[in-house]
Structure 1
């Protein structure tokens, strides 16, 4: 028995060593792989990737590996290499459907993969693109912001991100499937907030884990959307003329548009607005508070828009929005995204190395936006730095809203919403910090313990000797 036991142990040890060697040296069809580390099997370097940072700098995980291995390296974050080279990123974003395809981490996959296609992207563009923004949504967005900021003045303090998440989710859920938080007596923001906390968690779906809570909250939201679809079918005369109505009409002729597909698409669109836009607005308020010169320039541009109107009480127009040059510089300066993922569908050869077919490429926007070789003091909040950059340079160096063939379908909606919020906020209100939230950057931008401000109406701003005083 002893020899058999020793042999079994030896066999297991040999197997583990062999498995570990194969993990650390993945197959590459005889080609050279980029330098880097695959970490410890089976989790690789996933834990290191999710260690939070308290800085707006590029994530330490990426920064440290660029310093050690160079601008491109391999890792075992979901298995694959990471790119931080500007020209290569621009190239990859143009190669969708040729050399790469859209891909997400496993916790994203069940939500997104296989569900967004050209037909639905066209519908999204029709509802949230420039034409509808210009014709219908712009005044609705301004009205939403006006009502929300007025409500904020009633409180001793407001948690900016939480408050922004609530108003934006209430607004987009009504546009998408007619969900009215007031009538339902419940906003979706709390459920989404809990869902997002578990979005990048370790995929262990047992009770008590963040992953399990994520799954349960996802089911709850999907159930709400599905019930709305069933109510629409039961009462077809009660049309809401929202996104869901148009999709359900198309479902009659498009067999590929199933209930599951439509439900997941609406869920994905809600998710896209529930986290990134509130984080951007919170960061904007935090940074504007600390940079009075930026604040003054922003207020001056937006106040001038109001002064140039014949009727000062009219709503913002599309022409006025497109004239917000400095406002857009402020928006472009902020990015909360850690990575954009693509999966290779062919071997890709770059700089003497190979990225094998089936591997994943992570494009890190902050490694472009904060590149020290390109920008002096890259961490400084300096919106003026993009003023003289041409459109081709911006296309390669600013990917806050995606890029290439897979640019964010709601990019213009997001930019308009942020611009309108800032326009109303800096021209009609003033604020003071009550409790400054600490930046907590993991896979998404967050604010530890919340960022609280006190908001009040401000008197009309008047120029003194050509300068605007806040």
Structure 2
């Protein structure tokens, strides 16, 4: 007879082995895509968050594509995930929003952005918030905002030209944040006693990092930055309530009106999370794209030459170099829009777009179980040589073709701004800011790269050393 302790140990070992087997071989009413679930609870999170300095498809995804194919299973931060690098599956996921799939992010993301942020809401509430945002970022509002964007760009560039060496990433982030914060909440960084953007800088540093909430980690700093920013926004909302303005002057006034309506569905928590997301999304991604665009133009003098010719022609046609841009001028920037598309295709600022399967879904012989997360991987499509010739080359002219077939394929093959009904509502605002800034830059200034410009992905895009240039007026 063995001692009772031996039986207990044997039972525990059997239970542990059974648990490990179940973890590595999830149950499914069909055939799961191939792949590895990694370590229990941790999954393959460490590999996913590992750093790389490539413009190519992230090593985590590329290695598994080569091993398993375009659709594979994994586990990230304890959650089973189907990763899709297949354009057809990506299209299905976006088009079946609310039917087969719905927007979803890991719990760590909702802790960062708020549990009632616009990305986590569905149905009527999502459409309601989307319509609210379009009041600020819709085409009619952007036409009126064009002059403000141009003035901000000109003022910033003039100041940079007198400062010597400027970090484009930091400088454009400040420029865009100040403009957006003014439109959203009438925030003025020069007169405010508290630095709102500093809270967002702390927030950004840990946004896409391993979710370990321990002092000293990037994730802990990220949560701390969110708390600071939310405290400032809540104080501003309370001050606005106590001293309401007679005329609606910014988006905060509009939100306050909505909160005060008797039949409103808006809550203070949703309103504050919305403000937080809008402030973050409006400046961080655009400043990254502008930094990369400036670097790519520096590295490709022919593109820069033709960009200058396009924008000089716009000014010449106006006949007055000092008159501001019109909406018609903006719409004439053909090559500029091609440069923007090519920049964001290469930038792949968002490494993954998450959805959750609402029902069991069959795709090309595989089964996606209900409740599993699906991560659409834009870089894998944007850098696929079968869809983009020499995909790592900066070639704005690849966007010249506009046949019907190519436009239809473009919906599947270009996801820099999302897709389906959750296509980013700030896309037009981003394009306006980029196009107007580039117009002011190439028509009035020249620049020399000084240092930096190296990229780092963790897996989100970063410029760890910035991109420092010396700006001077054109002859």
Does structure 1 residue 157 correspond to structure 2 residue 156?
A: no
Give CA-to-partner distance per residue, 1:66-123, whole Å, 9 cap, x none.
1111111111124201101112212211110111001112222232554422222111
Q: 1:385 to 1:237 in 2, by over 3 A?
A: closer
| Mapped partners of 1:316, 1:14: distance in 2 | 72
Q: CA–CA distance in 1 between the matches of 2:324 and 2:194?
A: 30
Does residue 171 (structure 1) correspond to residue 170 (structure 2)? The answer is no
* 1:308-323 correspondence runs (5 A): 308-323=317-332
Aligned to 1:192: 200
Cα separation, 2, equivalents of 1:106 and 1:199: 13
Partner residue, 1:139 = 147
Alignment check: 8 A CA contact 2:116 2:273 kept: no
> How many angstroms does 1:281 deviate by?
0.6
Q: Residues 396 and 8 (structure 1 numbering): CA distance in 2 closer, same or farther, change over 3 Å?
A: same
Q: Is residue 82–residue 373 contact of structure 2 (8 Å, CA) maintained in 1?
A: yes
- Is 1:204 matched with 2:204? no
What residue in structure 1 maps to residue 249 of structure 2?
241
Question: What does 1:306-455 correspond to in 2, within 5 Å?
Answer: 306-335=315-344, 336-390=349-403, 391-455=407-471
Number of aligned residue pairs: give it.
457
State the Cα RMSD in Å: 1.7
What residue number does 2:121 align with? none
Checking the alignment, whether the CA contact within 8 Å between 2:135 and 2:141 is kept in structure 1 is yes
| 8 Å CA contact retained: 2:117, 2:277 | no
Is structure 2 residue 13 aligned with structure 1 residue 13?
yes
Match of 1:217 in 2: 225
CA distance in 2, matches of 1:454, 1:418: 20
Match of 1:26 in 2: 26
Match of 1:277 among 246, 266, 286: 286
The answer on whether the counterparts of 2:208 and 2:458 sit within 8 Å (CA) in structure 1 is no
Could you tell me how far 1:55 is from its partner in structure 2? 1.5
Q: Distance in 1 between matches of 2:402 and 2:66?
A: 27
| Between 8-17 and 159-168, the greater mean CA deviation after superposition | 8-17
Worse overlay, 87-96 or 102-111: 102-111
Confirm whether residue 267 of structure 1 aligns to residue 276 of structure 2: yes
SS in 1 for 2:38: coil
Alignment partner of 2:190: what SS?
helix
Q: Structure 2: any 5+ residue segments left out of the alignment?
A: 119-125
DSSP-derived class of the 1:362 partner? strand
Match of 1:151, SS state, is helix
TM-score, structure 1 length as denominator?
Answer: 0.94
Deviates more, 1:166-175 or 1:231-240: 231-240
Once residues 382 and 4 of structure 1 are traced to their aligned partners in structure 2, the CA distance between those partners, rounded to angstroms, is: 72
1:262 and 1:328 map into 2 onto residues whose CA distance is 33
Unaligned runs of 5+ in 1: 460-470
Question: C-alpha deviations, 1:218-240, integer Å up to 9, x for none?
Answer: 01100111101100111113655
